[in-house]
């Protein structure tokens, strides 16, 4: 206020385009190196602080990484940010530990092999400097505790050989290299082996002290992963999702037809809260594809279906949530229906925004952002790889059309990301007025395939019509004229909870990028 003139701040414009840079790669392949099936990464998850990163693979292993750049100043990164301390370094992680979470099993009753592949990992609340996480394969969920423990060692032998007199020692009496005959009851036919004084003689008056072997705790530490609980035998179909509740006490697990509610402390009992199984399986029209708890409301969760719909349910309404509170779906126009319409409409992943206001969903061709207060349609739709639409027949024949791509949101809710083929992933701006649509490749040079013209249709909160922009229809060529490869697909990625950093998996390699 100056001389009665009011200064009005200009409305904030869309955020600047991010310049993505390569940070790190773990498990980088050399040229021509063959990837082992068991090494392919199948799950990625940051913890809530972003200081730890977990990956799971098809071999049933969980690998943990910890952030290193926050420790250099001796002060936590959040404290430095509060002090406006200039932080020039980008996020860096280092290998922390790994453990075998699941083993291959065989269900003899159903004659079914249960593979060890990790489907999902979810971090739980930390306590006493220990890390806790849930991991699941197709049938069994496990609750892990990872903690640093001091290494215990056994002290020296019980008698110091230097103080012994004679031609023998304790070591020679117990560890002789020559074989000794023993009787069936453990005795020895040679009495000298049972007579300690034959091996060495004690000094006159005996020894002043006899040292017994004791276990001592050294200053060395090692990370130990221990399975605290196993949640098994609750799903007839393959588990596709697990999600922690904000209450810190419960979590859900979802398979094709049911969602179960568990208490972390009780492994032998769960409550079935959603059941879409019809009385006659011939009447089955859709299955559950993904489920997630609301980030702050412990009574709300959402689940998606193979028909492209998302249902929001409230656990306060009834014990069995057969009816939903809200239904989010966008019917396909009858004129554009084809044989592939229902297949590509299936939602492979949903994620809540950090504030719980929006839900991001990924179907085969698009990303959609939904406002939970508006069930008339998505507030924004992003075309991920529209140039593949003419190739749907080929994708169907090689089963690529059934690939399940994950999606993620930035911590500030301004951007969304998801993967595609040829190890590409897309980052879209979802703030009002943003036209950001970046294509990155999971290599050390992520901007190599950058698409210059945005290929996303923008839809503001107030608009009703949807704009569809199609890519070139040249077979085998993407929107930037590069050939695409169906065999290399980027299915799994995660966005750091507080910074513009993305971790993504290309086969057995974990790439980390920052902006």
- The 3-state DSSP class for residue 188 equals coil
The predicted model gives 439-449 an average pLDDT of 85
- Lowest-pLDDT choice from 82-91, 97-106, 225-234, 444-453: 82-91
| Average pLDDT of every residue of the chain | 82
CA–CA gap between residue 328 and residue 321 (Å, rounded): 16
The token pair at 352 is 């809540």
CA–CA gap between residue 194 and residue 173 (Å, rounded): 9
CA–CA gap between residue 357 and residue 302 (Å, rounded): 12
- The 3-state DSSP class for residue 502 equals strand
Q: Containing H/E element for 270?
A: strand 266-275
Asked if residue 380 has pLDDT above 80, the reply is yes
- pLDDT tier, 91 (very low <50, low <70, confident <90, very high otherwise): confident
Burial class (CB in 10 A: 0-12, 13-18, 19+), 193: middle
> Are 289 and 306 within 8 A, CB to CB?
yes
Beta bridge partners of 368: 361, 381
Asked if residue 170 has pLDDT above 60, the reply is no
Asked if residue 82 has pLDDT above 60, the reply is no
Question: Which tens digit of pLDDT belongs to each residue from 238-248?
Answer: 999 999 999 99
- Residue 127 pLDDT: 86
Q: Domains in the chain, please, with CATH?
A: 21-73+88-143+232-450+483-514 (2.130.10.10)
Asked if residue 176 has pLDDT above 50, the reply is no
Residue with the bigger pLDDT between 191 and 470: it is 191
- Residue 78 pLDDT: 58
CA–CA gap between residue 269 and residue 473 (Å, rounded): 53
Beta strand pairing call for 21-26 and 41-46: unpaired
- The 3-state DSSP class for residue 448 equals helix
For residue 8, CA distances in Å to 2, 3, 11, 14, 409 come to 12, 14, 9, 18, 32
> Are 90 and 501 within 8 A, CB to CB?
yes
Across the beta sheet with 61-67, the strand order is: 41-46, 52-57, 61-67, 93-100
- Measured over the CA atoms of residue 327, residue 399, residue 419 and residue 13, the dihedral's sign is negative
- The 3-state DSSP class for residue 54 equals strand
SS (H, E, C) 457-497: CCCCCCCCCCCCCCCCCCCCECCCCCECCCCCECCCEEECC
- The 3-state DSSP class for residue 328 equals strand
The predicted model gives 400-409 an average pLDDT of 96
Residue with the bigger pLDDT between 370 and 447: it is 370
- pLDDT tier, 195 (very low <50, low <70, confident <90, very high otherwise): very low
Spatial neighbors of 285 by CB under 8 A, at least 6 apart, are 307
Asked if residue 153 has pLDDT above 60, the reply is yes
Q: What percent of the chain has pLDDT over 70?
A: 76
- Residue 513 pLDDT: 96
Asked if residue 171 has pLDDT above 90, the reply is no
The token pair at 455 is 């290929």
Asked if residue 308 has pLDDT above 60, the reply is yes
- pLDDT tier, 482 (very low <50, low <70, confident <90, very high otherwise): low
E strand residue ranges, 68-156:
93-100, 105-107, 112-114, 120-123, 131-136, 141-154
The token pair at 108 is 């003899």
Asked if residue 74 has pLDDT above 60, the reply is no
- The 3-state DSSP class for residue 402 equals helix
- Residue 200 pLDDT: 52
- pTM for this structure? 0.79
CA–CA gap between residue 330 and residue 403 (Å, rounded): 21
Residue with the bigger pLDDT between 112 and 312: it is 312
CA–CA gap between residue 68 and residue 90 (Å, rounded): 10
How many other CB atoms are found less than 10 A from the CB of residue 68? 14
CA–CA gap between residue 98 and residue 53 (Å, rounded): 12
Beta strand pairing call for 105-107 and 407-409: unpaired
């Amino acid at each position: 206020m100056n001389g009665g003139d009011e200064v009005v701040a200009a409305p904030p414009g869309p955020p600047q385009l991010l310049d993505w840079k390569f940070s790190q790669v773990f498990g980088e392949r050399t040229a021509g190196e063959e990837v082992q099936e068991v090494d392919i990464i199948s799950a990625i998850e940051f913890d809530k602080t972003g200081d730890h990163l977990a990956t799971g693979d098809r071999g049933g292993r969980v690998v943990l990484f910890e952030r290193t750049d926050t420790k250099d100043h001796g002060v936590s990164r959040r404290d430095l940010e509060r002090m406006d301390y200039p932080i020039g370094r980008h996020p860096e992680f280092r290998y922390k530990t790994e453990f075998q979470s699941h083993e291959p099993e065989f269900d003899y009753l159903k004659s079914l092999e249960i593979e060890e592949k990790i489907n999902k990992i979810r971090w739980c609340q930390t306590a006493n400097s220990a890390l806790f996480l849930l991991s699941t394969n197709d049938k069994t969920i496990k609750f892990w505790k990872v903690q640093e423990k001091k290494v215990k060692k056994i002290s020296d032998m019980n008698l110091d050989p230097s103080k012994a007199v004679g031609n023998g020692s304790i070591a020679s009496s117990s560890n002789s290299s020559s074989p000794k005959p023993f009787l069936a009851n453990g005795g020895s036919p040679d009495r000298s082996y049972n007579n300690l004084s034959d091996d060495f003689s004690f000094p006159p008056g005996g020894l002043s002290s006899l040292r017994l072997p004791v276990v001592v705790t050294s200053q060395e530490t090692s990370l130990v992963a221990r399975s605290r609980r196993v949640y098994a035998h609750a799903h007839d179909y393959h588990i596709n999702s697990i999600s922690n509740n904000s209450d810190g006490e419960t979590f859900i697990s979802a398979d094709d037809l049911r969602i179960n509610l568990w208490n972390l402390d009780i492994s032998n009992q769960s409550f079935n809260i959603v059941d879409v199984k019809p009385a006659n399986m011939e009447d089955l029209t859709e299955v559950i594809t993904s489920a997630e708890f609301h980030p702050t409301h412990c009574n709300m969760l959402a689940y998606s279906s193979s028909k492209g719909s998302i249902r929001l349910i409230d656990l306060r309404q009834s014990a069995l949530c057969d009816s939903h509170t809200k239904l989010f779906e966008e019917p396909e126009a009858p004129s554009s229906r084809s044989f592939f319409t229902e297949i590509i409409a299936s939602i492979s992943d949903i994620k809540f925004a950090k504030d719980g206001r929006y839900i991001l969903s990924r179907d085969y061709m698009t990303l959609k952002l939904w406002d939970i207060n508006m069930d008339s349609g998505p507030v924004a739709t992003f075309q991920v790889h529209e140039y593949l639409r003419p190739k749907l027949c080929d994708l169907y024949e090689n089963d690529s059309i059934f690939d399940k791509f994950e999606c993620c949101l930035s911590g500030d809710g301004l951007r969304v990301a998801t993967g595609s083929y040829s190890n590409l992933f897309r980052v879209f701006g979802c703030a009002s007025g943003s036209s950001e649509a970046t294509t990155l490749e999971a290599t050390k040079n992520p901007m190599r395939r950058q698409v210059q013209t945005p290929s996303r249709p923008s839809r503001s909160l107030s608009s009703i019509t949807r704009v569809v922009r199609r890519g070139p229809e040249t077979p085998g060529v993407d929107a930037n004229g590069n050939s695409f490869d169906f065999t290399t697909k980027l299915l799994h990625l995660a966005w750091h909870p507080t910074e513009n950093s993305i971790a993504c998996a290309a086969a057995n390699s974990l790439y980390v990028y920052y902006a």
